[in-house]
Amino acid sequence: MHDFITIAELLTDAREQLRRPSFEIPGREAALLLGHLLGWSEAQVRARSDRRVDDDLAKRYRGWIERRCLGEPVAYLLGEREFFGRTFQVDDRVLIPRPETEHIVEIALQLALPVGPQILDIGTGSGCLAITLAAEIPAAKVVATDLSPGALAVMDHNRKQLGVADRAHGVVTDLASGLRLSGFDLVVSNPPYVARHEMASMSPEVTDFEPHLALFAPDAGRRLLLRLLETASALRPGVHLLIEIGYDQGDWLEGAVAGYPHLELLAIRRDLSGIPRTAVLRRRPF
């Protein structure tokens, strides 16, 4: 025989637990997680607080709350995250897509690309950039690279689920190794750019769960950025390279680009928090 508990009782207990960790967890996550299990919105969960749920669901929900208190991100618990209006599967093989990365898509959509452009996404992870660009740009063909076979397995699922399997595909490789870069009309990348010494100040939600391969880079987080600048020498003149960068890397990148005569830094766009976030570069048109 099943025992039953009300939604209000479950939420009260969960909110109390979510207040205990040393890192901040928004109280609304209690209703968000329960709603996902029930197939309801957060508003429906709150409106139906007197409803009862059986002990099996309550046990599963309490297990999620315990995992959340240990730092496991909500996106991994749910197995999904929204990016540019689409739902992407995510798990601990890939970095969780962030809203600030959407700026790369916004900038790309403003460029004067040819009809049916060939696009390269370096370090694709979940495929959020590659798949979004394939979906947003009619007839675009997108190649997505990653060093992690696990990440590309996630990307492969997402490209099929989101209807671009015929125009986006993944390749296991280091950055763009083995690809003919002169064939691409646009290159985008959200590479690892966090310095390892910053780990001590970061939330366990990130450092204990998200893949370090997708987060951290040597040389104060700059090594992969430099390799991308070197890679750009093989692009056709006039082709853009859009790169997400760290909050403190704008001035450094401006100086670094000066050492690459084939490149010009057109702009460093800030995110909604006013933080330098997206570098807009171009292979010089001569």
Q: Mean pLDDT, consecutive 10-residue segments, the chain of 286 residues?
A: 81 96 93 96 94 94 97 97 98 98 98 97 98 97 98 98 98 97 98 95 95 96 96 95 97 96 96 96 92
Are 91 and 225 members of one domain?
A: yes
CATH number for position 87: 3.40.50.150
Are 91 and 42 members of one domain?
A: no
Residue indicated by tokens 């680009």? 257
Are 64 and 187 members of one domain?
A: no
CATH number for position 61: 1.10.8.10
The answer to the question of residue 75 being in a domain is no
**Among 44, 70, 96, which residue terminates a domain?**
70
What is the full DSSP assignment across 76-95?
HHHTEEEETTEEEE--TTSP
- Given this model, what pLDDT does residue 145 score? 98
Q: What angle do CA 177, 234, 217 make, to 5 degrees?
A: 50
Amino acid code (one letter) for 164: V
- Given this model, what pLDDT does residue 286 score? 79
Quote the strand ranges of 116-274, DSSP E. 118-122, 141-146, 168-172, 186-189, 240-244, 263-270
For residue 136, the Cα-to-chain-centroid distance in whole angstroms is 17
- Given this model, what pLDDT does residue 270 score? 96
Residues 145 and 176 sit within 8 Å (Cβ to Cβ): yes
Residues 283 and 235 sit within 8 Å (Cβ to Cβ): yes
* CA distances from residue 79 to 60, 88, 93, 150, 212 in whole angstroms, order as listed: 15, 8, 11, 15, 19
**Among 15, 45, 70, which residue terminates a domain?**
70
The answer to the question of residue 176 being in a domain is yes
Are 194 and 241 members of one domain?
A: yes
Are 211 and 273 members of one domain?
A: yes
The answer to the question of residue 152 being in a domain is yes
Are 37 and 119 members of one domain?
A: no
The answer to the question of residue 242 being in a domain is yes
Are 86 and 22 members of one domain?
A: no
Torsion angle defined by CA atoms of residues 36, 78, 191 and 116, in that order, rounded to the nearest 10 degrees: -60
Are 13 and 153 members of one domain?
A: no
Quote the strand ranges of the chain, DSSP E. 4-6, 52-54, 80-83, 86-89, 118-122, 141-146, 168-172, 186-189, 240-244, 263-270, 276-283
The answer to the question of residue 132 being in a domain is yes
For residue 73, the Cα-to-chain-centroid distance in whole angstroms is 13
Are 150 and 48 members of one domain?
A: no
- Given this model, what pLDDT does residue 112 score? 96
Query: The pTM is what?
Result: 0.94
Expressed as residue numbers, the domain containing 65 is: 4-70
Within 13 Å and on the Cβ side, how many CA atoms surround 138? 1
Are 138 and 185 members of one domain?
A: yes
- Given this model, what pLDDT does residue 1 score? 44
The answer to the question of residue 212 being in a domain is yes
**CA dist., res. 226 & res. 231, Å (int):** 9
Are 94 and 219 members of one domain?
A: yes
Are 93 and 120 members of one domain?
A: yes
Residues 154 and 94 sit within 8 Å (Cβ to Cβ): yes
Q: Give the count of domains, the chain.
A: 2
